[in-house]
Amino acid sequence: MLARRLPLLITGIAGVAGYNAFQYFAAKYPGQVVGIRPRRTWRLCGPGVVAQDAEDAGGMARLFDAFGFRSVLNCVGNCALKSCELDPAMAYTLNVVSAQVIVDHVRRHAARLVHLSTDLVFSGADGRGNYVETDPTDPVTVYGTTMVQAEKLLETLAPTAAILRISLPMGPSFNRHAGAIDWIQSRFRAQRPATLYFDEVRSCAYCDDLNRVFEWFLASDESGVVHVGGPRANTLYEIAQIVNRVGGYAPQLLKGCPRRAAGPIPPRAGNVSMNSAKLIRLLGGQPFQPWPLGDDLVPTHRAWHFERPAGEPRSLQMLQQRLYHYPQTAVPTPFVRVG
């Protein structure tokens, strides 16, 4: 039970994974959850939200001392690939220094730590994907490199922490611009083209399912690296096809190309789909529905999004109902721990 590890701190709530996790945990454990966001992100506010930069050691010390956190879900980090390439020092500060600060205070308070990492610790260069936890990391970006550094730091200084490698978290963002769905939609909504890649493959997962997995790890004592990816791998181009068609946007706005045509900055990973068999063994079952849920939303060819069958609902409301979330009656059988 997570109750024994409250209060809970969630960092990085300006990102999609952190934002959705904060909404979930704050509703389930009212008054027991604090979320921090960068001081510059002033539009993100509300009960339980604190303006605090995670890399600020002094400010984090005061926060920990004030609330006495018993667990931390660390979602902080800068995943803007181009920004990280152009400013490696910034990427190191936000992705590594922040992890060091959090580890220091977690150790000082003997708190539980669940840290989110990324599938982009891999290059996907050979196109095979299906990475397991023991595969060697070989990132092609500054972002991926700093996330590997953060993982190694935790393995050394916080060996009891769980390190969850996630892919693209599929859910709403607070500013309607962050994350895969909202970034793509923001382009189409403004009648601007979006170019996505035929050969970058990710293991997307609904945030609704990710939140339940995060809760399990926060309550458990499981440590080390675990892959937390959905059961259906999608190319970035396929993701954009789905957003385009479900949202009812102009199909000609979507452009596609192989990642080698993307230019040198930022470099693009290939097939970084993850094998989550270890996660399924730990939980005693598959915690994820495939994204998107429903075979009717699975592209079958590169012009699929041009097809608009009569009577097929297409709107922002449908996008929210099918791509941000899915009917809760479709939640997988509750998982239990094996062993």
Query: What is the chain's Cα-based Rg?
Result: 19
How many Cα neighbours within 13 Å face the side chain of 98? 27
pLDDT, residue 339, reads 38
pLDDT, residue 201, reads 98
What are the CA-CA distances from residue 190 to residues 9, 185, 187 (Å)? 36, 8, 5
Sign, CA torsion 210/216/218/224: negative
pLDDT, residue 124, reads 96
pLDDT, residue 65, reads 97
Which stretches of the chain score pLDDT less than 50? 338-339
Structural domains of the chain, ranges and CATH numbers in brackets: 2-175+204-232+274-283 (3.40.50.720)
pLDDT, residue 337, reads 57
Q: How far apart are CA 36 and CA 51, in angstroms?
A: 6
pLDDT, residue 151, reads 97
What are the CA-CA distances from residue 228 to residues 43, 50, 88, 281, 298 (Å)? 30, 28, 27, 12, 21
Provide the β-strand partners of residue 94.
none
In a 3-state reduction of DSSP, which class is residue 108?
Answer: helix
Share of the chain above pLDDT 70, in %: 98
pLDDT, residue 247, reads 96
Q: How far apart are CA 131 and CA 112, in angstroms?
A: 27
Structure tokens, 210? 């990710």
State the pairing for strand pair 234-235/201-202.
antiparallel
